[in-house]
């Protein structure tokens, strides 16, 4: 089931003569985590801005499932929470005061049950804030002024504010940038909790190991185009085979990708598939001079795609 359907999305800033987003068509799966990676200037922020309804005159369509409200921004306001890369809160207020203020902005919609699928289980504001503080491990600093917090706590407060909306879809822009390993681990754990709660997560990051660990899907953006959009699985394997000279390779299945004359690569989704392929090769009586396999990591996918595009 898809949470967001994107069809032929293009966008050009008025002061640019090139498209920052160029003909992107893809689906974001519901209740899954999708990572958006790409070099600086690839269009990640513009892509998120478009999905958040922050761009007025884009081309193409963006549809939330279900589509609440009459336009994209209405759907976003009802379902989506945004965690910007900047600390988007009031530094003069304490953690609790920030959360109290932002929750007051949701008051009307909560009573009409528009924010969340869980609206039937709406908690009181106070209980919700306490839950969020606990969930984001902010208890010890709940009454501290936000400006006095360390970077890790600030990042968590940034996420906590998004949670007051009780969103079904959560966009996070580099949520772990510039923080210590302990805070990073807490945030990764938080994201995994969100996944378990069935939220749809979409986040940008330069930390490919994070993307690999958390994300179910990966979108690689480059020059405004989605150059790669595929399921990420830690069980993805790459099997590389070098056949002996003279071996007839025309009979190889289509999934075998030829790297050079006798050099082939095949992507596999599980150890079972690997086993099946090894069995098939053994039965085929083809002479193999070299064979190895490795995890098809996000890093490898990303580097490979970048190298491919450069050539």
Identified binder of other proteins from the candidate list 16, 57, 70, 107, rule CB under 8 A: 107
Identified binder of other proteins from the candidate list 36, 38, 45, 212, rule CB under 8 A: 45
Identified binder of other proteins from the candidate list 17, 86, 121, 248, rule CB under 8 A: 86
Least CB distance to other proteins at residue 11 (A): 10
Whole-angstrom Cα distance, residue 192 to residue 144?
27
66 cis-preceded (ω within 30 degrees of 0): yes
Tokens of 223: 């020059």
Q: Establish if 199 lies at the interface with other proteins (CB under 8 A).
A: no
CA distances from 199 to 84, 307, 311 (A): 18, 34, 38
The owner of tokens 């790297």 is 259
Q: Establish if 46 lies at the interface with other proteins (CB under 8 A).
A: yes
Select 95 or 252, whichever has its Cβ closest to other proteins.
95
3-class DSSP assignment, residue 5: strand
Q: Establish if 119 lies at the interface with other proteins (CB under 8 A).
A: no
Whole-angstrom Cα distance, residue 245 to residue 295?
27
The interface region with other proteins, picked from 86-94, 212-220, 247-255, 301-309 by CB under 8 A, is 86-94
Q: Establish if 151 lies at the interface with other proteins (CB under 8 A).
A: no
Where is 21: in which H helix or E strand? Answer: strand 21-29
Where is 257: in which H helix or E strand? Answer: strand 257-258
50: left (phi over 0), alpha (psi -120 to 50) or beta: alpha
Q: Establish if 91 lies at the interface with other proteins (CB under 8 A).
A: yes
Identified binder of other proteins from the candidate list 26, 30, 93, 188, rule CB under 8 A: 93
Least CB distance to other proteins at residue 184 (A): 21
Identified binder of other proteins from the candidate list 106, 133, 149, 211, rule CB under 8 A: 106
For residue 163, give the nearest of 181, 136, 140 by alpha carbon.
136
Q: How many residues bind other proteins (CB under 8 A)?
A: 41
Q: Establish if 1 lies at the interface with other proteins (CB under 8 A).
A: no
Select 152 or 167, whichever has its Cβ closest to other proteins.
167
Q: Establish if 101 lies at the interface with other proteins (CB under 8 A).
A: yes
Binding mask 256-285 for other proteins (x = CB under 8 A): ------------------------------
Q: Establish if 55 lies at the interface with other proteins (CB under 8 A).
A: yes
Q: Establish if 102 lies at the interface with other proteins (CB under 8 A).
A: yes
CA distances from 74 to 30, 63, 68, 207 (A): 19, 11, 7, 32
Least CB distance to other proteins at residue 109 (A): 4
Cβ contacts of 40 within 8 Å, gap of 6 or more: none
Least CB distance to other proteins at residue 305 (A): 24
Q: How far apart are the first and last CA of the chain?
A: 36
Whole-angstrom Cα distance, residue 29 to residue 8?
17
Q: Which residues pair with 257 in a beta bridge?
A: 265
Identified binder of other proteins from the candidate list 10, 27, 65, 100, rule CB under 8 A: 100
3-class DSSP assignment, residue 275: helix
Distance of CA 155 to the CA centre of its chain: 17
Identified binder of other proteins from the candidate list 37, 136, 141, 173, rule CB under 8 A: 173
Binding site for other proteins (CB under 8 A): 45-46, 48-49, 52-56, 73, 76-78, 80-82, 84, 86-93, 97, 100-102, 104-109, 114-115, 145, 161, 165, 173
């Amino acid at each position: 089931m898809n949470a967001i359907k994107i069809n032929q999305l293009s966008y050009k800033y008025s002061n640019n003569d090139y498209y920052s987003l160029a003909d992107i068509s893809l689906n974001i799966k519901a209740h899954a985590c999708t990572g958006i990676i790409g070099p600086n200037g690839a269009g990640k922020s513009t892509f998120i801005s478009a999905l958040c309804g922050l761009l007025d005159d884009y081309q193409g369509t963006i549809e939330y499932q279900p589509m609440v409200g009459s336009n994209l921004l209405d759907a976003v306001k009802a379902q989506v929470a945004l965690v910007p890369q900047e600390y988007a809160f009031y530094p003069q207020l304490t953690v609790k005061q920030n959360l109290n203020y932002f929750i007051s902005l949701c008051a009307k919609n909560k009573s009409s049950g528009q924010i969340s699928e869980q609206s039937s289980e709406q908690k009181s504001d106070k209980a919700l804030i306490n839950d969020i503080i606990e969930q984001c491990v902010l208890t010890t600093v709940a009454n501290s002024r936000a400006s006095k917090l360390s970077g890790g706590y600030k990042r968590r407060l940034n996420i906590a504010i998004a949670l007051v909306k009780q969103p079904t879809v959560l966009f996070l822009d580099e949520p772990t940038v510039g923080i210590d390993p302990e805070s990073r681990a807490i945030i990764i754990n938080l994201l995994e909790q969100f996944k378990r709660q069935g939220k749809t997560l979409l986040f940008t990051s330069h930390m490919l190991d994070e993307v690999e660990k958390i994300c179910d899907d990966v979108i690689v953006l480059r020059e405004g185009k989605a150059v790669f959009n595929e399921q990420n699985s830690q069980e993805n394997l790459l099997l590389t085979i070098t056949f002996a000279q003279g071996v007839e390779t025309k009979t190889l299945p289509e999934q075998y990708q030829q790297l050079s004359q006798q050099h082939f690569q095949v992507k596999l989704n599980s150890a079972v598939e690997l086993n099946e392929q090894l069995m098939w090769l053994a039965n085929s009586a083809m002479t193999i001079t070299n064979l190895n396999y490795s995890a098809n990591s996000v890093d490898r996918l990303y580097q490979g795609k970048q190298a491919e595009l450069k050539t």
